[in-house]
Amino acid sequence: MLRFSRFLVLVLTVALGAAFVPAASAAAAKKPKPNVVAIAAKPAAATQLPTARFTWKVTPKKTPAQCVLDKGKWKACTTKIAYAKLKDGPHTFQVRVRRSGRTGPWVTRKYTWRVDRVAPTGAAVSYAGGPSAATAVAATFSGGDDGKLGSGVASVRLEQSSGSFTGACGAYGSFGTVATASPATVALADGACTQLRVVATDTAGNVATSAPGPVISIERSDLVLAGSPATATEGGAAGAPTIALSSAPAAAVTVTSTLGGSGATLATTSRTFTAANWSTPQSFPIVATDDAVDEASPVVQGVTFVASSSDANWNGEAAAGSVSVVDNDVAGITVIPPAAQVLSEANPLTVQTFSVVLTSEPTGPVTITLGAAQVVATPSSLNFTAATWSTPQVVSVRGLADDVDEANPHTGTVTFVVASSDGAYAGRVVVPVVASITDDDTAGLTVAITSGTATEGGADAGITVRLDSQPTRSVTLNLTTSVPARLVAAPTSVTFTTANWNVSQPVALQAVDDLVQQAPSVNAVVTATGAAAGEPHYHLLATTRNVSLVDDDAAAAGVEIVPSGATATFSMAGPWPLHEDQSVAQTFDVRLTAPPTSGDHVNIDVIPLEDIAFQFQASGSGRLQFHDGNWDDWQTVTITALQDMVAEAGVHPGSIGFDASQSGDPTYASVTISTVYDFDITDMP
């Protein structure tokens, strides 16, 4: 028995172990991801600041981390740390987390930077100083840094000072960069005093500036040009550049000037300088040529100055300047406005005039083509040349006689299109001339009666219609009558276009031949109404005419009942469908066939025979009421099924009848309405 128990335990253990092997394999396949750390914020690689701030991210969040600075001790930290009072030199920050869980190998991230608050050393420059007539000087320069603590030189630049020389060097101006690579050649301006220096900057931003080198004073034999660029205006002030010598000559020096271009001339072409007046500036006036042509402005023309002398130092010396020639002409087209008068469509002899003239001489013919709206302009084009540009040309304008009803007065315009080979005039915009015009057209409808009587079962009445003025778009006239149930127009609408607006179109007025006895002869009003969106003069414009309407029915008291709500699936004779849920209803139109004989009311009651409800459109009294004023007007009754709580056959019958016995009028009280109207009622589910 004991052996069997041990065997059973062994079997169960093996079985259970085998059963859990897949689960263990699945758990092994889903190992947790390793922990990760990444540095996010850190100082610059080289900085002057003795402080540093670090932040980092760990994944998963809240994974414990340790940090250390330089050769310090590791200690626990969160996600940020700051250090202060750091010494100059390199520093290393490290942060680490366990690769998985809280044991196992470390995952470490580190960052090294340098604190540098020491300026670079060894900034130096070498060049030849002293008086010089050279145009440039060669210079070598360099800059170094402390290799132990420094962050390294990032840039070295050579700077030059500005200054003036008038026999002795005075104060020096500000320094500006002239080179960034050694050796360098630095340009020297005549009459200047200058010095060079070196500026070195390390990667942390520390700057070292060398002492300025020796002074260089530059003096050469030059023509000193002033007042250039000069400005000369047509019809205005002349330009006046001046020339002086930079030093006293050994012999007389004659300076000759030459002007390029054709828009100006030199009033004086030469000046002479001696040892007595060499430093006194002498003027070379430049006068702009005053013409009538609109030219590009300003136009820059070159002016040169050349010296001739037996003094070899001055012979052939030259200077160059410029003058801006400003034009005083403006291309334009002037329209002398017309006198204040009104044109008339009805009187073409009423004319107004205006004149057109150019404001500058064109370089080619100018053609102005006239366009006209609501007016007639004569001539249709104007031509101007270099010989006729300043002579005004006259244009005559009269009103255009049309057939359109317009505002009174309305405006007419003359427009201008300019063409020319002269770019100053080609395509130039000219403001249109506007004229005031008295209109002689009035929108209206002319309706003429061709036959004034329409008889039931007999002859039609007739009219013709047309428009009184030309529309701006097609106009449709809708024709209606005051008694549409008794008199209809054929056709019910006619259309007029801009081409046939004044051609009369016939319309027949036909009496409806019914069985209802009505007034034997009445006046019917025929209305013609315009429909033309966008044509304000004719849209909704209406007029009326009266015609006679003759009835041919004998007096007979009766009730006319028409089922107006019959559906397409049921005949007009019924039965008609109804639903107890009232989703389907039926309507009947009722009127009398003759007026009451006594002047009293006629009451028509609806008699529901089974499962029927009803309501009246024209009366809330529970019955239809007619009298002398409305006896031939249709009144509507709506029939619905009663909502009962009785389960009946899916479709069961219902019916109604009509009764006039409760009428105050004795004739209609004796009228029997024998027709019964049947319905198929669908029971509620």
- What string of DSSP letters covers 199-232? EEEETT--EEEPPP---EEE----EEEES-SEEE
Q: How far apart are CA 382 and CA 366, in angstroms?
A: 8
Of 599, 600, 598, 574, residue with least CA distance to 588: 574
How many Cβ atoms are within 10 Å of 604's Cβ, its own excluded?
A: 26
Judge residue 640's burial from the number of C-beta atoms within 10 Å of its C-beta, 0-12 exposed, 13-18 middle, 19 or more buried: buried
Per-residue tokens: 275: 């040892």
Enumerate the β-bridge partners of residue 464.
448, 506
37 close to 65: Cβ distance less than 8 angstroms:
yes
Type of residue at 207: V
Q: How far apart are CA 207 and CA 121, in angstroms?
A: 9
**3-state SS assignment for residue 26:** helix
395 close to 375: Cβ distance less than 8 angstroms:
no
398 close to 350: Cβ distance less than 8 angstroms:
yes
Residues 6+ apart with CB under 8 A from 144: 120, 121, 122, 123, 153, 200
Residues 6+ apart with CB under 8 A from 573: none
Per-residue tokens: 620: 């809330």
125 close to 196: Cβ distance less than 8 angstroms:
yes
DSSP class of residue 530?
E
Type of residue at 330: V
Residue whose entry in the numeric block shows the structure tokens 């394999």: 25
Annotate 649-675 with b (16+ C-beta within 10 A) or e (fewer). eeebebbbebbbeebebebbbebebee
Q: How far apart are CA 182 and CA 198, in angstroms?
A: 11
Distance of CA 387 to the CA centre of its chain: 48
Whether the bond between 229 and the residue before it is cis, its omega within 30 degrees of 0, is yes
Q: What is the pLDDT of residue 569?
A: 40
Q: What is the pLDDT of residue 378?
A: 92
Question: What values do phi and psi take at 22, rounded to 5?
Answer: -60, -40
Q: How far apart are CA 576 and CA 657, in angstroms?
A: 14
Residue whose entry in the numeric block shows the structure tokens 């390793």: 34
Enumerate the β-bridge partners of residue 108.
96
How many Cβ atoms are within 10 Å of 631's Cβ, its own excluded?
A: 20
- CA atoms lying within 13 Å on the CB side of residue 225: 20
Per-residue tokens: 29: 């396949």
Within the chain, which residues score under 50 in pLDDT?
Answer: 1-29, 166-167, 566-571, 620
Task: State pTM to two decimals.
Answer: 0.43
What is the sign of the dihedral through the CA atoms of 218, 224, 225 and 227?
A: positive
395 close to 326: Cβ distance less than 8 angstroms:
no
Of 335, 358, 321, residue with least CA distance to 224: 321
Whether the bond between 409 and the residue before it is cis, its omega within 30 degrees of 0, is yes
Q: What is the pLDDT of residue 526?
A: 62
Q: How far apart are CA 424 and CA 245, in angstroms?
A: 44
Q: How far apart are CA 249 and CA 252, in angstroms?
A: 7
Q: How far apart are CA 132 and CA 196, in angstroms?
A: 15
Q: Are strands 586-592 and 635-641 parallel, antiparallel or unpaired?
A: antiparallel
In degrees to the nearest 10, what's the CA dihedral of 185, 190, 194, 196? 0
**CA 51 → CA 146, 153, 460, 478, distances in Å?**
21, 22, 111, 93
Q: What is the pLDDT of residue 133?
A: 67
**303's torsion region: left (phi>0), alpha (psi -120 to 50) or beta?**
beta
Q: What is the pLDDT of residue 4?
A: 39
Q: How far apart are CA 210 and CA 221, in angstroms?
A: 33
- Longest alpha-carbon distance in the chain: 151
DSSP class of residue 74?
-
H-type alpha helices, 79-197: none
Residues 6+ apart with CB under 8 A from 229: 300, 321, 322, 323, 324
Question: What values do phi and psi take at 541, rounded to 5?
Answer: -70, 135
Residues 6+ apart with CB under 8 A from 568: none
Of 661, 681, 680, 684, residue with least CA distance to 671: 661
**3-state SS assignment for residue 297:** coil
Per-residue tokens: 340: 């204040």
H-type alpha helices, 80-184: none
Q: What is the pLDDT of residue 579?
A: 86
Of 524, 501, 398, residue with least CA distance to 452: 524
